[in-house]
Amino acid sequence: MSDFPYLGNRISLISSSQIRYEGILYTIDTVQGTVTLAQVRSFGTEDRPTERPVAERDEIYDFIVFRGSDIKDIKLCSVQKPYDDPAIVEVSRYETLVSRYAAYVRLLDQ
């Protein structure tokens, strides 16, 4: 099984700037301390108290990489099982394999 069973599920994240983002959990890089969401929408600061309010945006970002230390709150919005088959141990998409390989290459370059 994956070390991160919620990859591929919808996540709601609030940054330290009080901005809420919602997207698909794409990767968690424990070495870099980052969380990457795919198909991300910004809901702005909504009603959260802040010195710099930010409006909601309609734009959908392909990916946003967040620094873990700047994440104030993170919640699972929905859990999607790709298949209900006990024979399946792990499911991965091509993009996930490529990103894991890229992270591995970055580690080798250090």
**Cα separations (Å) of 43 from 83, 84, 91?**
31, 33, 30
User: Would you say 10 and 78 are in contact if contact means Cβ atoms under 8 Å apart?
Assistant: yes
The band of 91, judged by pLDDT with boundaries at 50, 70 and 90, is low
Query: Mean pLDDT for the chain?
Result: 80
Q: What is the pLDDT of residues 44-89, one digit of tens each?
A: 999 999 999 999 999 999 999 999 999 999 888 876 665 666 766 6
**Rounded to two decimals, what is the model's pTM?**
0.70
Structural domains of the chain, ranges and CATH numbers in brackets? 9-78+86-109 (2.30.30.100)
